[in-house]
Amino acid sequence: MPALVLDGKSLAQQSEAELLARVENLKANSGGKTPILATILVGDDPASATYVRMKGNACGRVGMASLAVEMPSTTTTEELLAKIEELNSDPNVHGILLQHPVPSQIDERACFDAIALHKDVDGVTCLGFGRMAMGEAAYGCATPQGIMRILEHYGIEIEGKHAVVVGRSPILGKPMAMMLLQKNATVTICHSRTQDLPGIVAQADILIGAVGKPEFIKGDWVKSGAVVVDAGYHPGGVGDIELSALMDKASAYTPVPGGVGPMTINTLIMQSVESGERSLV
């Protein structure tokens, strides 16, 4: 039986229609004001510039405004912190996105953590992570939160299942594991140095590929009937998992592209709208 395709692209389009209605309602009740997402791009990395442009376009599709802040590659940590503080203090800005990665001379973690919690719509601060992990109110990190929305929409059962997360980054693997744990999965976190990784992956009822290496996770490692979520994207249109071997083996999978990526951006926009709703009405 062919696997269920967890279509993040169509889900994001459906969500955008709902968000557009929420933004229109917000405008009607706030004298025409709209949520504003500030995006900070440091340097001239073309991939980062493309991602920032995609996020700005997504804002426009739901009727939101975006504020593009571009800073040179020579920017210092102190200069970036000053810009973030300026945006924190601006009542017209409801969300702040610092595009990752920043140039090497910048202390990226210090700059992420300078973002005010109520404007951390990308879910990148240590405080936001800690609150989320403790079950307290916070915006979830956009990619894992987007994955949770996909699983919920398609009715994927999480409670009691063994979820294996391959990857431990602070903005994907670690928050992903905590979110699955909150939904009562039994969670194993693995990485590129895990001993007998194929054997652990083979135990997964839900597999999350978040290791950042193209097709690092092989299709023959995955057991029949597993739910496979590929959070990677690499040149050539491949992810972190060898998906071509899983079309008839997995019970469900996210395509690459068109799976996790669209829901990452949509979650950022959704959380920006939520922030605007909290402060404008």
Residue for token digits 């079309």? 247
Supply φ then ψ for residue 239, to 5 degrees: -110, -155
Virtual CA dihedral for 54, 56, 62, 64, nearest 10 degrees? 170
**Active-site residue, 7 included:** no
Instruction: Indicate which residue of 7, 83, 99, 230 is catalytic.
Output: 99
How far is Cα 269 from Cα 57, in angstroms, rounded to an integer? 10
Report the side by side order of strands in the sheet with 95-98: 65-71, 36-42, 95-98
In 3D space, the residue among 199, 248, 254 whose CA is nearest the CA of residue 225 turns out to be 248
55 given a catalytic annotation: yes
Q: Which residue has the tokens 């491949």?
A: 238
103 DSSP assignment = P
By the 10 Å C-beta count (0-12 exposed, 13-18 middle, 19+ buried), 52 is classed as buried
55, 119, 161, 174: the catalytic one is 55
* Domains present along the chain, CATH in parentheses: 31-124 (3.40.50.10860), 142-261 (3.40.50.720)
First-residue to last-residue Cα distance in the chain: 49
With 0.75 as the threshold, say if the pTM is over it: yes
From 7, 119, 120, 122, active-site residue: 122
Q: Number of helices (H) and strands (E) in the chain: give both, helices first.
A: 9, 9
Q: Does residue 46 have a cis peptide bond before it, meaning omega lies within 30 degrees of 0? A: no
Give the pair of three-digit tokens for residue 5.
């395709």
Answer yes or no: 205 catalytic: no
Question: Tens of pLDDT along the chain (281 residues)?
Answer: 789 999 999 999 999 999 999 999 999 999 999 999 999 999 999 999 999 999 999 999 999 999 999 999 999 999 999 999 999 999 999 999 999 999 999 999 999 999 999 999 999 999 999 999 999 999 999 999 999 999 999 999 999 999 999 999 999 999 999 999 999 999 999 998 999 999 999 999 999 999 999 999 999 999 999 999 999 999 999 999 999 999 889 999 999 999 999 999 999 999 999 999 999 87
CB contact set of 260 (below 8 Å; sequence gap of 6+):
8, 143, 146, 147, 150, 229, 230, 231, 254
**Do 271 and 123 touch, CB atoms closer than 8 A?**
yes
Q: How many CA atoms lie within 13 A of 270 on its CB side?
A: 23
| Alpha-carbon span 80 to 127, nearest angstrom | 19
Bin 185: left if φ > 0, else alpha if -120 < ψ < 50, else beta.
Answer: beta
- Who contacts 274 (Cβ-Cβ below 8 Å, separation ≥6)? 121, 139
Q: Could you read off the pLDDT of 185-239 as tens digits, one per residue? A: 999 999 989 999 999 999 999 999 999 999 999 999 999 999 999 999 999 999 9
Backbone phi, then psi, for 156, in 5-degree steps? Answer: -75, 120
